[in-house]
Amino acid sequence: MDRLSGPGLDERLRQFLSEDVGSRDVTTETTVPPGTRARGELSARSGCVVSGLPVARRVFELLDPELAWREEVPAGTSLPAGGRLAALEGSARPILTAERVALNLLQRMCGIATETRRFVDAVAGTPCKILDTRKTAPGLRVFDRKAVRDGGGENHRYDLSRMVLIKDNHRTLAGGVSRAVAAARAAERGLPIEVEVESEEELREAIAAGADRILIDNQSPETVSRWCSIAREAASPPFVEASGAVRLDNVRAYALAGADAVSVGALTHSVRAADIALDLFSQ
């Protein structure tokens, strides 16, 4: 499910190409003579953390299987503005037709990796992990999650089947924290159970119910520190995650407050794409 390779990836990339190309690339077909060859360079116009080059390469290869691709920068590399990500050469028409889809994915993934690295650097020296969330663009989650990893972050649950995460609406409809945890534990013994808490009463109830993980939502670093101390006193201390109202300028305070992890939806739902260009030259 979370792999960027094989037939599944190709099928998705073909869908993206079909959406962009439509029936045909009329501009390229009418202006570029058949058989024209081109070489090109992918370069960063803004500094970025590299992510998504294998995906971009595969987009081009789907339209030109003979494409030559070289000098790819490793994922996770911090590249300054003006740095080259990769060089390519092949048939000009397929390169032009695939350009936009390849760049859209590459720029988004580099943007996510870059923002993730900023958060990871902000908590450096603490044991706190930076996590993503399910706040991804539909259809792009597998790409977004890889970019988070390339930026040094870690992934939360991939989808709703991977973990029980009891949030406010679940608590309300289940009749409270204890009932929700008990029902989940009885039905899904093999899955970890995380409970979102918004008060000290809910925190203590979740701990008493045996939650494996606690999600402290929309609280100050001071409150997180106090609640982490309460959680650590449990016979089996739960994993503590903080989220909500977390920004680059305050994430370190949450890490120092004792959170095992901080989840940041903005890594993927508000991504600022990196500025990457493809410059082509005739051969």
Q: Which residues are catalytic?
A: 100, 135, 167, 196, 217
CA separation for the pair 130, 149 (Å, rounded): 10
Q: Cα dihedral sign for 170, 247, 161, 105? A: positive
**Amino acid (1-letter code) at residue 52:** G
DSSP state of 222: H
CA separation for the pair 199, 176 (Å, rounded): 13
Distances (CA, A) of 148 to 10, 45, 79: 21, 21, 16
CA separation for the pair 69, 54 (Å, rounded): 10
DSSP state of 238: P
Query: Closest Cα partner for 49 from 106, 102, 113?
Result: 113
**Residues in contact with 35: Cβ distance below 8 Å, sequence separation at least 6, in sequence order:** 91
- DSSP character string of 111-142: HHHHHHHHHHHHTTTSSPEEE--S---TT-HH
**Residues in contact with 37: Cβ distance below 8 Å, sequence separation at least 6, in sequence order:** 89, 90, 91, 92, 282, 283
Query: Closest Cα partner for 169 from 199, 195, 146?
Result: 195
